C-alpha cells in the first residue's frame, strides 16, 4: 500500500475561533467580533504518515494563541494587521512551521446613533448590526526562506453585501437563437449579493526581535497600501456608489467599472475579484385577478424574488504591469 501513495499536501489548524474584543479608551469603547481560522504548514508530514504527533502543535494550542494575541496584540482592532501578527507569531515561534494561513471574518458592530441636544452622535459603548455583510481577510505568512525572511500576502474584501436598484439597469443585445426566451429590457431590477476580494502585492515582514516572538512592527501606511486602514471602507463605498450610479448595461459591465475604480484608487492593490449572483426579481402576471401589472414590462410594480436559479457573474481585474 505504501508505494502506491504519498502525502502531497498537508495543512491543519483551528477554524471558527470566535472572539469579541473590547478595547477601552476610558469610557469610549471599541469592539470587534471575529471568526478566525488559523492553519499551519511545515515539517508535519510524519504526523500523517507515521502517526508521530511530536511535530503537532495542537489545534487547541492554536486556539489558545489566537485568544492570547486577541488579548495582547496592539493590532486587534484591524483584522489585516491582527491576522498578520498571528501568522507571524506562529511561524516565528515554531522552528518547523514554515507557513501560516489566517482567515478572519469580521461581523459588523456599528455605534448606535443617539440624539443628544438635537445632534445625532455615535454612542460610546452601544453598537448594532447594521448589515449582514462581513469583512473578509485572508493572510499568508511565509517563512519558507528563513525566519528572518518572512513574506506576507494579503487578500481582503467583503462577503454577502446585499444590494438592489429598481431602475438604471438594462440588458439587451445578447445572443438570440433557438434557446432564447429572455426578452430584452432597457429597464429592470438589478439585485446582487456582493462578494469582493482584492489582493495586495507581497511584502516583507520584519522578524519579531523579542524572545517570545510576539513583536509585530507595522511600517508607515502609504495610501492605498496594505497598511492603509482606509482601504476597506473605500472599497465598500466604491462598490455601493458605482452600483447606485452606473447606468448598467449588464452585471458584467457594472462589475468591471467597480473593479477598475478600486484599482485606480489603491496603488497597493494588484487585482480585484467580484462574484455577483444576479438575484432575479420577476414581475407578477396578475391578469387572472383582472389587474395588468406587466404591460409595459418596464412599468411593472409588483415583483417576486426568484430564489433559484440565479445568474452568477464573476471576474478578476488586474493592474497592468
Ligand atoms: O446582466 C446580465 N448578464 C447576463 O449574462 C445575463 N443573462 C441573463 O439571462 N440575464 C443577464 N443579465
Domains 10-147 and 159-212+222-321 share a fold: yes
CA 251–ligand 1 middle distance (angstroms): 7
Torsion of CA 232, 238, 243, 244, to 10 degrees: 120
pLDDT tens column, 203-255: 999 999 999 999 999 999 999 999 999 999 999 999 999 999 999 999 999 99
- Give dist(CA 149, CA 142) in Å, integer: 8
Of the two residues 3 and 95, the one the predictor is more confident about is 95
Cell of 239: 462598490
250 ligand 1 Cβ < 6 A: yes
Name the average pLDDT for the chain. Answer: 97
Catalytic residues: 14, 59, 280
Tell me which residue has its CA closest to atom 1 in ligand 1: 250
Homologous superfamily, domain 159-212+222-321:
Urate Oxidase; (3.10.270.10)
Q: Which atom of ligand 1 is nearest to the CA of 251?
A: 1
Q: What does pTM read for this prediction?
A: 0.95
- List b or e across 219-244, with b for residues whose CB sees 16 or more CB atoms inside 10 angstroms: eeeeebbbbbeebbebbbebbeebbe
What nine digits make up the cell of 267? Answer: 496603488
* Ligand 1 and 311: CB distance under 6 A: yes
Give residue limits of the domains in the chain. 10-147, 159-212+222-321
**pLDDT at res. 2:** 61
pLDDT in tens, 62-104: 999 999 999 999 999 999 999 999 999 999 999 999 999 999 9
CATH of region 10-147: 3.10.270.10
Amino acid at each position: 500500500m505504501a508505494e502506491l501513495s504519498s502525502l502531497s499536501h498537508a495543512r491543519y489548524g483551528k477554524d471558527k475561533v470566535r472572539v469579541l474584543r473590547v478595547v477601552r479608551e476610558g469610557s469610549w469603547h471599541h469592539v470587534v467580533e471575529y471568526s478566525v481560522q488559523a492553519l499551519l504548514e511545515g515539517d508535519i508530514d510524519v504526523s500523517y504518515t507515521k502517526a508521530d504527533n511530536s511535530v503537532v502543535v495542537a489545534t487547541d494550542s492554536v486556539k489558545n494563541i489566537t485568544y492570547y494575541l486577541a488579548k495582547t496584540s496592539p493590532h486587534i482592532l484591524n483584522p489585516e494587521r491582527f491576522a498578520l501578527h498571528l501568522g507571524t507569531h506562529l511561524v516565528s515561534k515554531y522552528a518547523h512551521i514554515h507557513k501560516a494561513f489566517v482567515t478572519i471574518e469580521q461581523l459588523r458592530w456599528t455605534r448606535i446613533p443617539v440624539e443628544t441636544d438635537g445632534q445625532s452622535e455615535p454612542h460610546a459603548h452601544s453598537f448594532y448590526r447594521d448589515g449582514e455583510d462581513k469583512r473578509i481577510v485572508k493572510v499568508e505568512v511565509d517563512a519558507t526562506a528563513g525566519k528572518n525572511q518572512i513574506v506576507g500576502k494579503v487578500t481582503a474584501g467583503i462577503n454577502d453585501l446585499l444590494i438592489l436598484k429598481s431602475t438604471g439597469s438594462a440588458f439587451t443585445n445578447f445572443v438570440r437563437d433557438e434557446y432564447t426566451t429572455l426578452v430584452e429590457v432597457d429597464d429592470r431590477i438589478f439585485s446582487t449579493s456582493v462578494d469582493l476580494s482584492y489582493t495586495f502585492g507581497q511584502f516583507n515582514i520584519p522578524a519579531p526581535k523579542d524572545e517570545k516572538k510576539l513583536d509585530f512592527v507595522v511600517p508607515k501606511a502609504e495610501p492605498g497600501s496594505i497598511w492603509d486602514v482606509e482601504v476597506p471602507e473605500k472599497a465598500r463605498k466604491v462598490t455601493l456608489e458605482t452600483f447606485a450610479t452606473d447606468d448598467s448595461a449588464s452585471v458584467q459591465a457594472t462589475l468591471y467599472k467597480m473593479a477598475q475604480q478600486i484599482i485606480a484608487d489603491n496603488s497597493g492593490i494588484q487585482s480585484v475579484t467580484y462574484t455577483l449572483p444576479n438575484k432575479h426579481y420577476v414581475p407578477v402576471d396578475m391578469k387572472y385577478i383582472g389587474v395588468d401589472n406587466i404591460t409595459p414590462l418596464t412599468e411593472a410594480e409588483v415583483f417576486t424574488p426568484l430564489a433559484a436559479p440565479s445568474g452568477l457573474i464573476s471576474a478578476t481585474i488586474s493592474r497592468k504591469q
